Amino acid sequence: MYINGVACYIPSKVLPNSYFTEKCGITDDWIRSRTGIEERRVAMPEENANTMGIESVKNLLNQLKEDGKNFDLIIGASYTPYDTVATLGHQIQHYLQIADVPTLYVSTACSSVLNAIEIVEGYFSLGKATRALVVGSEHNSGYFDENDKISGPLWGDGAVAIAISKEKMKEGDLHIKHISTGGAAHTPKATKAVYLHPIEHDFPMADGRDVFINACVYMERESRRVLEKFKLSVDEIDYYIPHQANHRISLHVIHELKLPESKLIANIQKYGNTGCCGFGIGIAETWDQFKKGDKILSIVFGGGYSYGAMLMEK
């Protein structure tokens, strides 16, 4: 599989840490020292997961210089939906006006986009599609409690669109050499550490410590598994683009891997935790820096607990 292009949409409204100082008394230093977040972007009242997803698709088509009519598989990915019936995937299909193609919606917490890409791999392998559009979009601010001192400051909004083909289409495509996902919901606190109950409008980080510990363990483990499978040394990884949940997690993992911080791509400082879109936004914003032969490793771990890994090469 090959990634032909990646584009993102970031809302224009900036919410600085000082907002939460006024709301619930926590300081800028407190937020930065525990999460690395300096500010985050949040959707405007007229925006939601569907509208942001469509905006990311517009940006992708502009990048590709295409009209979007040649996709034969569409997958939307989000855990913060605007509509659970006319889902993100269906809204994208409606926007593109493509008839009679498989259109899906995936919600597996922070690995949703990675799970969607793995589903694409399955469709390609079965000969049921040759060109796919994966769109992740998170509207965390539509669900979070801004008065919650623990989880309130964590969340940001954003979207990412990824064009994927079975065969290489042009020079500059990223070759997906490996993708794998898994679930760790068998662990004791997996279903209670962080959850979103839409009916109760409840989105707490009930046990952030457990999330932190498991994220560090699984992200390091999955990184090492990919390196071992392809007989790669850490030095051969040019970019490390992980899930953007907490900058301290990313720093801990690269420290354990002995990967220099210069190879870490992080956007949580300016966007907050954008859920399943964080690593994809990182790829989109680094796309023009990738050079032929570069190896890019993305690792995710999030609520649920769900995790995954993807190795790409320019």
Residue carrying structure tokens 């490390």: 240
Q: What is the mean pLDDT of residues 308-313?
A: 98
pLDDT of 265 higher than 90: yes
Mean pLDDT score across all residues of the chain? 96
* For the chain, percent of residues with pLDDT exceeding 90: 91
pLDDT at 199: 87
pLDDT at 34: 94
- Cβ atoms 39, 15 nearer than 8 A: yes
Beta strands in the chain, from DSSP E residues, in sequence order: 2-9, 13-16, 39-42, 73-77, 103-106, 131-139, 157-165, 174-183, 239-240, 295-302, 306-313
pLDDT at 292: 97
Q: Please write the tens of the pLDDT for every residue from 156-215.
A: 999 999 999 999 999 999 999 999 999 999 999 999 999 899 988 789 888 989 999 999
Identity of the residue numbered 58: K
The yes/no answer on whether domain 174-313 falls in CATH 3.30.1050.10 is no
Q: What is the mean pLDDT of residues 298-310?
A: 96
pLDDT at 200: 85
Residue of 28 and 202 predicted with greater confidence: 28
Query: Which residue pairs from 212-215 have beta carbons closer than 8 angstroms and sit at least 24 positions apart in sequence?
Result: 212/246, 212/248, 212/249, 214/184, 214/187, 214/190, 214/301, 214/305, 215/243, 215/245, 215/246, 215/249, 215/301, 215/302
pLDDT at 171: 94
DSSP strand pairing (295-302 vs 239-240): parallel
Q: Please write the tens of the pLDDT for every residue from 232-260.
A: 999 999 999 999 999 999 999 999 999 99
Q: How confident is the model at residue 311 (pLDDT cuts 50, 70, 90)?
A: very high
Q: Do domains 2-165 and 174-313 have the same CATH topology?
A: yes
pLDDT of 115 higher than 90: yes
How many Å apart are CA 140 and CA 155, to the nearest integer?
A: 6
Q: What is the mean pLDDT of residues 286-295?
A: 98
CA angle 206, 210, 216 (to 5 degrees): 135
pLDDT of 150 higher than 90: no
- Cβ atoms 312, 296 nearer than 8 A: yes
pLDDT at 206: 84
Domain ranges of the chain: 2-165, 174-313
Q: What is the pTM of this model?
A: 0.97
The yes/no answer on whether domain 2-165 falls in CATH 3.20.80.10 is no
- Cβ atoms 144, 203 nearer than 8 A: yes
pLDDT at 267: 98
How many Å apart are CA 28 and CA 17, to the nearest integer?
A: 5
Environment class of 162 (CB within 10 Å of its CB; exposed 0-12, middle 13-18, buried 19+) = buried
How many Å apart are CA 66 and CA 81, to the nearest integer?
A: 27
Task: Considering only CA atoms, give the Rg of the chain.
Answer: 18
pLDDT at 201: 79
- Cβ atoms 40, 272 nearer than 8 A: yes
pLDDT at 24: 86
